[in-house]
Chain A
Amino acid sequence: DGGITQSPKYLFRKEGQNVTLSCEQNLNHDAMYWYRQDPGQGLRLIYYSQIVNDFQKGDIAEGYSVSREKKESFPLTVTSAQKNPTAFYLCASSSNYGYTFGSGTRLTVV
Chain B
Amino acid sequence: EDKVVQSPLSLVVHEGDTVTLNCSYEVTNFRSLLWYKQEKKAPTFLFMLTSSGIEKKSGRLSSILDKKELFSILNITATQTGDSAIYLCAGNAGNNRKLIWGLGTSLAVNP
A residues near B (Cβ < 8 Å) are 31, 33, 40-45, 48, 50, 58, 90, 94, 97-104
Contact = CB atoms under 8 A, between A and B. Distances in A.
Interface of B: 34, 36, 41-45, 48, 88, 90, 96-99, 101-104
Contact of B34 (A31, A58, A99, A102): A99
Chief secondary structure at chain A's binding surface: strand
Nearest to A9: B41
Given A41-B103, A42-B88, A42-B103, A101 B43 contact: yes
A87 to B, nearest CB: 14
A94 B98 CA distance: 9
A68 to B, nearest CB: 14
Contact of B42 (A42, A44, A45, A101): A101
B71 to A, nearest CB: 18
Closest 9 CB pairs of A and B: A101-B42, A42-B103, A43-B101, A103-B41, A103-B42, A94-B97, A104-B41, A42-B101, A31-B97
Contacts of B41: 103-104
